[in-house]
């Protein structure tokens, strides 16, 4: 979302990974960015400029001296009006030129004139990567503030196996989102998010769980990261990958989630609890697998700690924690039950979630929620979980600003 309307210069240098940059260009365009591609003469040996032109819908620049190009505009203005320049793949040759301030083609010239952040995605044969010259060049570029992603380990075009593969386009896109977000409206804010469901063990192989996939919480973490937040994500078991730039703490049971939240919350300014935490757990966890018998099995359950309740009780003592957001997964009287939880748990906002609709709540990518605060409530239409996440962060941002003004 934060790439919408942003100007990205995608520099492509001459390596076999150039074909992956076509996918990257396409993803950037789909994310709403305006993408100008600059290729080195070597890059056009691997992928035709027309490929990028078709994907971005914009002219591709290669030749600094092409008679039909306004040289003064293209090599200076491109890098100066961009929000971000991504060089992917960045070959050893291009990296060396960047490190030494050379400007012998349109890509290196654009980079030298650029005033925006630059992200490098190196790709080369592993010995070229390991070469002290390349390593020294990389150290110099990092020291000067260039962002670097990769290279990754894997099978290389040379047939060998090692470090040198260009990182995959989805990861580069995420890193671009992170960098663009550094100037966002949550920049520098320390935010704690919980996600997923907890598992309460019955024996070594069985547990009591719920249907939470973690999607809502992971969307919250990624959205906050995209706006510059420093996010800690306390997550129950899930197959989802941790959003880049987010610190993830994996837990399993409600007790472990409680301990992680109580550990991280004192240093954070806001907590958003989207996790589906078990309210009850087996009173006894059997050491061995429970054997099947002829009779019925009766389980005795006990309460788990109320995480939000405990945080609300201690927030004064912790000081920094200014905003507390809870979720309420309800199957009936959604707004009424959620409002009761808002007051009982001492929250600033509760996100009332009707989990009976097939397109809302557990596992799906969309959600339909009502945001309820003490000031009133707002029913949101069906949205992606990412959009819901941004609405929640809008509330958190306003509350954080208000709390600073309140202290003045
Ligand atoms: O993960 P997904 O598949 O994307 O699904 C998202 C979701 C449906 C799980 C999410 O949108 C949601 O509604 N999360 C809250 C689920 C829940 O446990 O609701 P609750 O009404 O039981 O709990 C109320 C609040 O108290 C929640 O913020 C919960 O995190 C918190 N809680 C609950 C129990 C407990 N022991 N301690 C708590 O702090």
- pLDDT attached to residue 65: 77
pLDDT for the residue numbered 74: 59
**Cα(335) to centroid(ligand 1), Å:** 15
Q: Whose CA is nearest to atom 33 of ligand 1?
A: 277
Ligand 1 atom 10, closest CA: 274
**Where in the chain is CATH 3.40.50.10300?**
185-407
| 324 touches ligand 1 (CB under 6 Å) | no
* Ligand 1 contacts CB of residue 151 (under 6 A): no
362 within ligand 1 shell (Cβ under 6 A): yes
- Taking the centre of ligand 1 as the mean of its atom positions, its distance from the CA of residue 306, in whole angstroms, is 11
pLDDT of residue 227: 97
Give the tens place of pLDDT for each residue, 311-330: 999 998 988 899 999 999 99
Show the low-confidence residues of the chain (pLDDT under 50).
none
Of 15, 11, 50, the C-alpha closest to 28 is 11
CA neighbor of 166 nearest in space, from 44, 38, 24: 24
CB–CB of 14/46 below 8 Å?
yes
Q: Rounded to the nearest whole angstrom, what is the distance from the C-alpha of residue 331 to the centroid of ligand 1?
A: 13
Say yes or no: CB of residue 236 within 6 Å of ligand 1. Answer: no
CATH of region 185-407: 3.40.50.10300
Three-point CA angle 354, 359, 360, nearest 5°: 30
Whether pTM > 0.85 for this model: the answer is yes
- What pLDDT, on a 0 to 100 scale, did the predictor assign at position 78? 85
CATH superfamily of 7-180: Flavin prenyltransferase-like (3.40.50.1950)
In a 13 Å sphere around the CA of 387, the CA atoms on its Cβ side amount to: 10
Give 276 Cα–ligand 1 centroid separation in angstroms: 3
pLDDT at 75: 66
Pairing of strands 280-282, 301-303: antiparallel
253 lines ligand 1 (CB under 6 A): no
**In ligand 1, which atom is closest to the CA atom of 309?**
39
pLDDT at 253: 98
Q: What pLDDT does residue 160 have?
A: 83
- Supply the pLDDT for residue 404: 73
By annotation, the residues acting in catalysis are 210
Residues of the chain with CATH 3.40.50.1950: 7-180
Q: Which of 73, 108, 104, 66 is nearest to 87 (CA)?
A: 108
Q: What's residue 42's pLDDT?
A: 97
Which tokens in the block code for residue 294?
A: 């002829």
């Amino acid at each position: 979302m934060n790439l919408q309307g942003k100007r990205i210069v995608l520099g492509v240098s001459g390596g076999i990974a150039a074909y992956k940059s076509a996918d990257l260009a396409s993803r950037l365009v789909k994310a709403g960015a305006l993408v100008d591609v600059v290729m080195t003469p070597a890059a056009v040996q691997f992928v035709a400029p027309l490929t990028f032109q078709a994907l971005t819908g914009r002219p591709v620049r290669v030749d600094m001296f092409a008679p039909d190009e306004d040289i003064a505009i293209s090599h200076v203005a491109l890098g100066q009006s961009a929000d971000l320049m991504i060089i992917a793949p960045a070959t050893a040759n291009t990296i060396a030129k960047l490190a030494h301030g050379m400007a012998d083609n349109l890509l290196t010239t654009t980079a030298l004139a650029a005033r925006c952040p630059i992200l490098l995605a190196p790709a080369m044969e592993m010995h070229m990567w390991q070469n002290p010259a390349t390593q020294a060049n990389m150290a110099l570029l990092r020291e000067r503030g260039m962002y670097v992603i990769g290279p990754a380990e894997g099978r290389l075009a040379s047939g060998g196996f090692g470090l040198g593969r260009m990182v995959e386009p989805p990861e580069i896109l995420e890193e671009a989102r992170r960098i663009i977000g550094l100037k966002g409206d949550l920049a520098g804010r320390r935010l704690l998010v919980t996600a997923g469901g907890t598992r309460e063990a019955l024996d070594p192989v069985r547990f009591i769980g719920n249907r939470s996939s973690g999607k809502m919480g992971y969307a919250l973490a990624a959205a906050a990261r995209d706006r510059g937040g420093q996010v800690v994500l306390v997550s129950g078991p899930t197959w989802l990958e941790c959003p880049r730039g987010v610190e993830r703490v994996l837990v399993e049971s409600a007790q472990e989630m409680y301990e992680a939240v109580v550990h991280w919350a004192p240093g954070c300014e806001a907590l958003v609890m989207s996790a589906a935490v078990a309210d009850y757990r087996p009173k006894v966890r059997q050491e061995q697998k429970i054997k099947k018998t002829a009779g019925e099995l009766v389980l005795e359950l006990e309460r788990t700690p109320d995480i939000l309740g405990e945080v609300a009780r201690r927030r004064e003592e912790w000081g920094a924690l200014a905003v507390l957001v809870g979720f309420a997964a309800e199957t009936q009287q959604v707004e009424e039950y959620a409002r009761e939880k808002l007051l009982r748990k001492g929250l600033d906002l509760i996100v009332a979630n009707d989990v009976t609709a097939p397109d809302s709540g557990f596992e799906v990518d969309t959600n339909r929620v009502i945001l309820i605060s003490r000031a009133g409530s707002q029913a949101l239409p069906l949205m992606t979980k990412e959009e819901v996440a941004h609405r929640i962060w809008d509330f958190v941002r306003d509350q954080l600003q208000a709390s600073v003004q309140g202290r003045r």
